[in-house]
Chain A
């Protein structure tokens, strides 16, 4: 072993400033969530499928030479071919255009209903949770009463009053759906408003507006987004079910549910008329579920099992 002598060493002193430094790059909440989401291949695949389906729903009806409501009686029930990619239905309407038109309406119902649920639920649940006490008690009892009425009943009642159609479905699904969001938000707010950082903000003199916008909402937004992601497919499926039993979208409009209903009648003779709308609705449902799961893992890692 080599001789160790004092002159081989130099006293460097210590660097105190380095002791507290952090090596990891600083990431915002969203950048961090995106980094986690990116590693989840299933969720990314689902997201890509959803984007593609949405793009088709927007552009396919515009770019096609056919129209979803005009039939050609000389071209009734044609098998899929180069001209009619998904074939035609019993009135000679091009199914390719109708499927994407139906997707458009289904997605529209899903997104609008989810947004309505989100807006009403966050406001209602937020107020209920933040104010607390008796007001909270009364507000939550109202939700429970509304919730005890099944949504099918709402739809039937509203259809009788307003006539069936897109608007009725959205209203009915929103009435039946916002309660879940309100409860979720209330629970979150109740939990967070007692946390010490909210108390610290109060000690600093923050008013209610500041506490809600800067402290409560940013800390619940992850859970809310996840819930919205699951609310969209629920609404789409509810609409499909309603259209399937004849309470939904009226002709000549189409939704994936009403297309499936028309398809079942032709199942034995022309199965392709059921296959295409079913594939699209299954893809949407599956993708939303997988994407929602991935989003939950990314936004709220504590919930992962």
Chain B
């Protein structure tokens, strides 16, 4: 992707110490998201990566208040989202949208594609009658489908086509910000590129801002301007995708990046992969201090005692690690 000059852009979203805890059972609390802070600038794509179960999707959903936050603030365009009343929420819903992971579960099987795409317009009374139909046709063509598809039902489409219907639905109310919750991980590789390219084109055309959640690092590198690495509900490192891939500072990021296979058998054979010991600890009883200390080979006493804060160690390069100077 062409280098955008992002430094001067203003923040569209500021997340401050966001927490989302779920009650599990009687006295246990699952800390899915445990105090994360970051910002997303207007027009950029922030990639959010991490293992399964590290709280990526919960972050995305809490960000747009699909879940109520346990603590912390999300400031969108000057509004504190978790303090909005019902009417303001409806207005806020016009500005943010979400694209979901499973294209088979994200479309109502009993509605026609036209009604699925038109639902946002119906809810907000934006367009009616002929205007609505015209907009639906326009959106279908934007995402590379035919206008005849409007009267069809979701089960008649393939996974990639369904994901494009989901994108058309998200675009229908002309949002500023879209949370893409692993939009490509359920698709096969040839279709992944198609969907990612579509998302990039749309961003350029409409000036959209994305939060792109994924676990496929190579795809995230391709689409993101900056990348945040998450582990067990906390952010470990945030920087531009260039920096992250060229000089990852956090031990966890280094391990993650070393897992990407290199398409050259000679290098692939000779390089050293960093293999992490053990499993991700349970978010119900996360370890004391740094969340990563149990699996970190550099861990020292301070790591076991105190949780590191996210510090800017280089321009636009934030790391949460005691050992990075």
Tell me the A residues contacting B by CB distance below 8 Å: 17, 20-22, 24, 26-29, 195-197, 199-206, 210, 214-215, 218-219
Q: List A contacts of B124 (CB < 8 A).
A: 205
Q: List A contacts of B173 (CB < 8 A).
A: 204
Main secondary structure of the interface of B (DSSP, over half): loop
Partner of B66, one of A17, A27, A29, A202: A202
Q: How many A-B residue pairs have CB under 8 A?
A: 80
Partner of B100, one of A20, A199, A210: A199
Which residue on A lies nearest to B145, using beta carbons? A20
Which residue on A lies nearest to B161, using beta carbons? A20
Interface residues as binary, B162-193 with A (CB distance below 8 Å gives 1, 0 otherwise): 00001001000100000000000000000000
Q: Considering only CB atoms and an 8 Å cut-off, how many residues of chain B contact the other chain?
A: 38
Q: List B contacts of A22 (CB < 8 A).
A: 148-149, 152, 156-157
Complex Cα distance, B169 from A205, in Å, reads: 13
Q: List A contacts of B138 (CB < 8 A).
A: none
Q: List B contacts of A203 (CB < 8 A).
A: 64, 66, 93, 96-98
B283 to chain A, nearest CB (A): 19
Partner of A204, one of B110, B111, B120, B156: B120
Which residue on A lies nearest to B172, using beta carbons? A204
CB under 8 Å from chain A, chain B span 100-138: 100-102, 105-111, 119-120, 123-124
Could you jot down 30 A-B contacts, CB within 8 Å?
Answer: A20-B146, A26-B152, A27-B153, A29-B110, A29-B153, A196-B105, A196-B106, A197-B106, A197-B107, A199-B61, A199-B100, A199-B106, A200-B107, A200-B166, A200-B169, A203-B97, A203-B98, A204-B97, A204-B119, A204-B123, A204-B169, A204-B173, A205-B90, A205-B93, A205-B123, A210-B123, A214-B108, A214-B111, A214-B119, A218-B110
Extra contacts besides A196-B102, A199-B61, A204-B93 (14): CB < 8 Å: A20-B146, A22-B156, A24-B156, A28-B153, A196-B105, A199-B98, A200-B169, A203-B96, A204-B173, A205-B93, A205-B123, A205-B124, A214-B111, A218-B108
| Beta-carbon contact of B64 and A200 below 8 Å | no
Q: List B contacts of A196 (CB < 8 A).
A: 100-102, 105-106
Interface centre among B94, B123, B124, B144, by most chain A C-beta atoms within 10 angstroms, is B123
Q: List A contacts of B276 (CB < 8 A).
A: none
Q: Is B262 an interface residue (CB 8 A)?
A: no
Complex Cα distance, B25 from A100, in Å, reads: 57
| Beta-carbon contact of A200 and B106 below 8 Å | yes
Q: List B contacts of A202 (CB < 8 A).
A: 66
What 7 pairs across the A-B complex have the smallest Cβ distances? A205-B93, A196-B106, A218-B110, A196-B100, A204-B120, A197-B108, A196-B105
Complex Cα distance, B90 from A205, in Å, reads: 5
Complex Cα distance, B234 from A164, in Å, reads: 68
